[in-house]
Structure 1
């Protein structure tokens, strides 16, 4: 179980660090500059160091640390972690999340609702989907996992499309942790949803920050690439919100693959290996203690 949990967290970080190089570039621009990006080299719009991660991994760790601090009701602690991270003036913060963090007073959902209306109802970004993986890693109880997944998404993203995508994603993660195959989990959890067609057909949208578009590409890439490396490289070379699409896709693929089988050349580049390993161990312990 620890190997799977650690694989999921490192998967997020690897996808984030690889895709961070090509974020906001088009697929054509990536091809013209890199041919195909296959290594974690840093650079890009954020001028990343090789192996440096962005908000995707940082906020995933915020969620994880909130859970570790108080597993029975981690939402307030997640919020404290979000605010602490934001106070450090990180390089990359999504528009919706930034507005919610500066609007928040004492009620997360009220802040998210206010921003939702301020943005004319356009709060279905992928910012809660990118960070939600620690919840199924820590909670084997399906009811608790799903309740926290929704509440956690509503902290910043008021639109139900965001929490619905998080639910599907975390249900797939739970199944992988319980030994189900990724292909079966994808097929059964997307059946009858907006994402079912993406299993077999390339999405007719860009892999941008709209959560529906992001999730469609995640489902498609996971359904049509075999290895972890193929998933990571495919996501990082599609362009647009590459770090987030790659982080989300590689999180699930990392659980399936397991930490021990992740490519060494990716793992050794990540700058926060020790922190990720410790958080994985803490989440695994919480999962054991709550079973």
Structure 2
């Protein structure tokens, strides 16, 4: 793996995107521009009514994964699911519908391998492939940055706890392989990440992401919670920006699912540019900053057994 600063950048970038986007979540780009111009500062209140720097389920669940990997020194699906369920039972300020449904299933005694699949099987197309696993999956990219096959397996298994759809499981794999490539010092890791899953992953996912970054219209990129939309937009913003700050601000100002698109863009941009590219004024108010820094370093330096 490359410099430790980039590993820290992944988790801090994820959380900064989450916290910057939280107050304006669900607002349109026009409404955001009319009220704020550009959202480049941590805002208080707004959506969810929390202090500046407060994160949502994106960061909360990433922390669950990171803590499990570090404490168990292995990928342990049941431990991750148990941590998710404990978090869910704590009455968090935000939780996605599929995540909530799957964790309720897990709480009734379903195995971590079955809960997400059962929820997915009963969901209609259009409500079965949200971005609730790509938002949280980045700790695996740090833990298995030098081991692509375990990274793909861990990414897919972890996603399937709540998001079993192949667009979600392979979306996590593509995202994490891209982040891991940056951690290894690669300049353009997305094509290799797509090549690793091509032939197994859904064509829609692969072909949509192949257009990134040069063959899409930046002005019309979608801002919905559909996993393919989130990945296309967040990857574009992270790959075309000149800094992690620029990537996150661009993603958040698009409106819509601002916290998650910001979080995914932030994780990739944090890996690309490192933690030093994130502004101190954000980090000073960021919830869980110390935990995120310590966990990133532990993930980068601990030998963790893959699935």
User: TM > 0.5 between the two?
Assistant: yes
Map 1:48-197 to 2 at 5 A: 48-104=50-106, 105-121=109-125, 122-139=127-144, 140-181=146-187, 184-190=188-194, 193-197=207-211
CA shift for structure 1 position 288: 8.5
**TM-score normalised per structure 1:** 0.93
CA shift for structure 1 position 188: 4.2
2:249 corresponding residue in structure 1: 233
1:41 corresponding residue in structure 2: 43
Measure, in 1, the Cα distance between the counterparts of 2:52 and 2:74: 37
CA shift for structure 1 position 187: 4.2
- Choose 253-262 or 40-49, whichever is displaced more: 253-262
Query: For residues 127-172 of structure 1, what are the alpha-carbon distances to aligned partners after superposition, in whole Å with 9 as ceiling and x for unaligned?
Result: 1101110002012222111111111111111110001111111111
| Runs of 4+ off more than 3 Å | 187-192, 287-290
**Counterpart of 1:32 in 2: which secondary structure?**
helix
Unaligned residue ranges in structure 1 (runs of 5+): none
Is the counterpart of residue 207 in structure 1 residue 223 in structure 2?
A: yes
Query: For residues 116-135 of structure 1, what are the alpha-carbon distances to aligned partners after superposition, in whole Å with 9 as ceiling and x for unaligned?
Result: 12222532111110111000
**Counterpart of 2:80 in 1: which secondary structure?**
helix
8 Å CA contact 1:67, 1:77 repeated in 2: no
8 Å CA contact 2:23, 2:45 repeated in 1: yes
Query: For residues 193-224 of structure 1, what are the alpha-carbon distances to aligned partners after superposition, in whole Å with 9 as ceiling and x for unaligned?
Result: 32122312126553111101101101221233
Unaligned residue ranges in structure 2 (runs of 5+): 196-205
**TM-score normalised per structure 2:** 0.88
8 Å CA contact 1:137, 1:287 repeated in 2: no
